Amino acid sequence: MQSFNLYYRFLYMVYGMKYAFGIYASDIIYCTMPLYHSAGGIVGVGQVLIGGTTMAVRKKFSARGFWDDCVKFNATVGTLQTVNLKLISNWKWIESVLIF
């Protein structure tokens, strides 16, 4: 029964992200998070399995190459966390604006 509940909890989160952020089958998701992480699993793999989107994954995250990768993969959706945003920008206000 517990695995049944975990499965439905995963589905609710995947569909919640899909409809909250407007992720469509035509989108390409650039996943910077490990696939075992909730952001990588729900926004990345979950959208591929449930929504039919395409996912691009790099072997190791590079803050310097982030935007180049987005252009290279033609990404329309990206998975980022606050730590990664700190790496790719010098904005001091980013922590107060984005709450994860």
pLDDT digits (tens, 9 = 90+) for 19-40: 888 888 998 888 888 888 877 8
* Residue 54: per-residue pLDDT: 93
pLDDT digits (tens, 9 = 90+) for 53-91: 999 998 888 878 888 898 899 988 887 765 544 445 555
Phi and psi, residue 29, nearest 5°:
-95, 125
Q: Is the pLDDT of residue 18 over 70?
A: yes
* Domain containing residue 43: CATH number: 3.40.50.980
Burial class (CB in 10 A: 0-12, 13-18, 19+), 90: exposed
Count of the separate structural domains present in the chain: 1
* Residue 22: per-residue pLDDT: 85
Residue among 56, 57, 46 nearest 23 (CA): 46
| Residue 17 belongs to domain spanning | 2-97
CA distances from 83 to 14, 42, 78 (A): 22, 18, 14
What span, in angstroms and rounded, lies between the C-alpha atoms of 80 and 14? 16
